[in-house]
């Protein structure tokens, strides 16, 4: 996260049962209801670190609430769920260390659930192939699987 003034932007992530998960992401206020995201999403789809989003304040929610992406940063987001909690030197840690060496960064919701930021200069395909080869449990968050493979769904 940066040292600039921050706010929280609320995201509602619909679930299959008709309910929604609420996630708030740190963001830098830019004025005119625009915010630059300052951390990676753990639940929201279609947004990544440093994207600029339009999020007017919602009285009911009590937060600026995400409406749409105004400007993409070029970063991409995937999420990994490890069966084995990350600990120094174990197989889960080795996956993270490979991704860091490849140029990615990450944030952990906990030691099992990690959001990976893939910067613009790192090939998404390289990361995908590595995770598939390692038989990791992971998902596309931004871009989403459906946007990458529209005919597969």
Residues 12 and 51 in one domain: yes
The model's confidence at residue 153, banded by pLDDT at 50, 70 and 90, is: low
Query: In terms of residue numbers, what domain contains 52?
Result: 7-71
For the stretch 54-85, pLDDT in tens is: 999 999 999 999 999 999 999 999 999 999 99
**34-57 core/surface letters (b: 16 or more CB in 10 A; e: else):** bbbbbbbbbbbbbbbbbbbbbbee
State the residue for tokens 């080795």.
Answer: 94
User: What's the CATH number where 142 sits?
Assistant: 3.30.70
Residues 83 and 123 in one domain: yes
Cα separation, 41 vs 132, whole angstroms: 22
- 18's CB contacts (< 8 A; 6+ apart) are none
Residues 89 and 140 in one domain: yes
Average pLDDT, the chain: 94
Cα separation, 75 vs 143, whole angstroms: 9
Phi, psi angle pair for 104, to nearest 5°: -85, 165
The model's confidence at residue 49, banded by pLDDT at 50, 70 and 90, is: very high
Residues 44 and 90 in one domain: no
pLDDT at 2: 62
Count of domains forming the chain: 2
The model's confidence at residue 14, banded by pLDDT at 50, 70 and 90, is: confident
pLDDT at 1: 59
Q: What is the pTM of this model?
A: 0.91
For the stretch 96-123, pLDDT in tens is: 999 999 999 999 999 999 999 999 999 9
Which of 37, 71, 105 delimits the end of a domain? 71
What is the rounded average pLDDT of the residues 89-100? Answer: 96
């Amino acid at each position: 996260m940066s040292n600039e003034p921050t706010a929280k932007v609320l995201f509602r992530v619909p679930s299959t049962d008709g309910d929604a998960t609420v996630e708030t992401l740190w963001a830098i206020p830019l004025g005119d209801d625009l915010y630059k995201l300052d951390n990676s999403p753990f639940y929201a789809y279609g947004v990544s670190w440093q994207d600029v989003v339009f999020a007017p304040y919602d009285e009911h929610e009590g937060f600026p609430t995400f409406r749409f992406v105004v400007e993409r940063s070029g970063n991409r987001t995937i999420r990994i769920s490890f069966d084995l909690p990350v600990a120094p030197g174990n197989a889960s840690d080795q996956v993270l260390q490979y991704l860091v060496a490849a140029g990615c960064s990450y944030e952990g919701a906990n030691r099992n659930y990690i959001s990976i930021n893939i910067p613009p200069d790192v090939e998404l395909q390289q990361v995908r192939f590595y995770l598939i080869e390692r038989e990791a449990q992971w998902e596309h968050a931004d871009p989403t699987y459906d946007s990458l493979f529209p005919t597969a769904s």
